[in-house]
Amino acid sequence: MKKTLAILAVLLLLIMPLSISASALTHVSDLAGVLSPGEAADLERQASTLFEKTGFDVILHTTNDSQGKGPKDYSFDYYHAFRDAGAYPNGAMLAIMFDTQDYYEAARGTGISLLTMRESDDLASVVQSKLSAGDYYGSMKNYIRYVGTLLENEAPAEALLAPPQPLGIPALMTFLSLVMIGVYIASFMTI
């Protein structure tokens, strides 16, 4: 009986990090409610795939309440509150603010040189026509594609300068689970 409980405990510790990592990172924050559930899920999948491939964190955000702030201030404040800069240093957020009828791109880490040092016309050419037509999903999809293209065309030397991603809680949980398994197995070897 004790062996069975111990094995179940070890299995739970192994499975738990998988469930934590699957739900740990959200890339779509549609507070304005302009996306259908299917559109939000598709954008989430695309942004997650980009993050897995590149380590670059793209966030797509809509709001009806920019809290009386200008587009730049609201975007940076929301971005820093939404995602920990220490854990995810490289990325960008496209914020669409319906109350002010504006949009803005906030970036950090490699996102600053990759995106915000470009002309603002670049961003406008990617999202403006679809936003004006009310195609919010299309504008966000274009943005993910745009960022992905820039990352693909980025010089390899710049990619090597990007700071490494931290291990985070899922990796720590996996490591601790493996240590516990080792201890458990070692306890049988001493008998």
CA distance 71 to 9: 49
How many CB atoms sit inside 10 A of residue 18's CB? Answer: 11
Q: What are phi and psi of 43, to 5 degrees?
A: -65, -40
CA distance 162 to 159: 5
Read off the pLDDT of each residue in 63-87 and give the average, rounded to a whole number. Answer: 93
Confidence of residue 163 (pLDDT cuts 50, 70, 90): very low
Neighbour-count burial of 21, counting CB atoms closer than 10 A to its CB (0-12 exposed, 13-18 middle, 19+ buried): middle
Stronger pLDDT, 173 or 52, i.e. the higher one? 52
pLDDT of res. 15: 57
Stronger pLDDT, 154 or 13, i.e. the higher one? 154
State the DSSP H helix or E strand holding residue 135, giving kind and residue range, or none if neither.
none
For the domain 26-167, what is the CATH code? Answer: 3.10.310.50
Structure tokens at 9: 């405990």
Q: Is the pLDDT of residue 97 over 90?
A: yes
